[in-house]
Every structure is written in C-alpha cells, then in structure tokens.
C-alpha cells in the first residue's frame, strides 16, 4: 500500500473524481435525480465516494489510531492524564466507518447521550437508595444502643 498508494491517490484525484462528477452533472441535467431534495437546491455538492484504495487507507489509519489509543491508555496506567487525550467515542466511530460498518448499527450521538443520561440517573437513584438504607441502619443501631442503655423516649430526643 505504501508503494502504490500515492499512485492510486493521484489516479483517484485526477481521473476518477472528475469522471464521477461529470457523470453526476450529466445525470442531473437529464433529470436523473428528480426531484432534488430542497436541502440540496442551490448548494455546491462535494463528492465522496468509496474506492478500494480509500477503504484500505482508512483501515490503515484506523489501525494506527487504535494502536495510538492503546498506547495512551497504557500510559494512562502510569500517568492518568494521558487517558484524557483519547476521544473513545470518535475512535469507535472512525474504526466502524473504516471497516464499512453500516451507520445504522452504530448508535447516534443523541442516542449515546440518552443512554448515558439514563445510566447516570439510575446510578444517582441507586446512591440515594443506598444512602436511605444506610441512614435507616444507623438510626436502628442508635435506637438499639439507646434501648440497651435504658434511655426513655424523651431522653433520646433530648
């Protein structure tokens, strides 16, 4: 890939991209995409297309990114601040895209945020419930200790 990559990259830029754009424009003028979505009317469109070379390049970049992230997480065991460099969500999205995982399988940012919010709320509720149980146990233990000491209800309140 290192030896032939630059040649295919140039081929994509100088040959394939202009051909794809020209074919698109011919089909557009011929009405091959009617009706055009309102969001695209009057907009400049930038083409992105997959090619075997692009896919291989993405896979190499994803492998390098995963290796880098693994190194940062390993360094994080010695210096925790190194973990802050890694955006795990974006690394996961990048890796999924590079190997061609369909986007419908990867949760959207909004869905991930909703899942995390629900998890956070559940953990808060669990902590509150644990605090109530602990407070009840402390109160029960205190009442039992007072009973053992023979204190009356009025003496306990004071």
- Count up the domains in the chain and report the number: 1
Query: Is residue 101 one of the residues assigned to a domain?
Result: no
Query: Is residue 23 one of the residues assigned to a domain?
Result: yes
Nearest CA among 145, 126, 148, 149 for reference residue 137: 145
Give the residue numbers spanning the domain of 12: 1-49
16 vs 90, residue with greater confidence:
90
- Give 98-115 pLDDT, tens digit per residue: 888 998 999 999 999 999
Query: Is residue 91 one of the residues assigned to a domain?
Result: no
Q: Is the pLDDT of residue 155 over 70?
A: no
Query: Is residue 32 one of the residues assigned to a domain?
Result: yes
pTM above 0.85, yes or no: no
């Amino acid at each position: 890939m290192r030896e032939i990559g630059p040649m295919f990259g140039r081929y994509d830029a100088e040959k394939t991209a202009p051909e794809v754009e020209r074919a698109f424009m011919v089909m557009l003028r011929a009405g091959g995409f009617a009706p055009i979505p309102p969001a695209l009317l009057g907009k400049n469109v930038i083409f992105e297309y997959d090619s075997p070379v692009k896919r291989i390049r993405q896979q190499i970049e994803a492998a390098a990114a995963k290796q880098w992230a693994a190194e940062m997480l390993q360094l994080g065991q010695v210096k925790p601040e190194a973990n802050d460099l890694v955006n795990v969500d974006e690394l996961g999205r990048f890796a999924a895209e590079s190997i061609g995982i369909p986007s419908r399988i990867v949760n959207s940012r909004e869905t991930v945020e909703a899942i995390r919010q629900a998890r956070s709320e559940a953990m808060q509720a669990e902590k509150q419930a644990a605090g109530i149980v602990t407070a009840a146990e402390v109160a029960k233990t205190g009442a039992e200790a007072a009973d053992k000491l023979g204190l009356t209800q009025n003496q306990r309140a004071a």
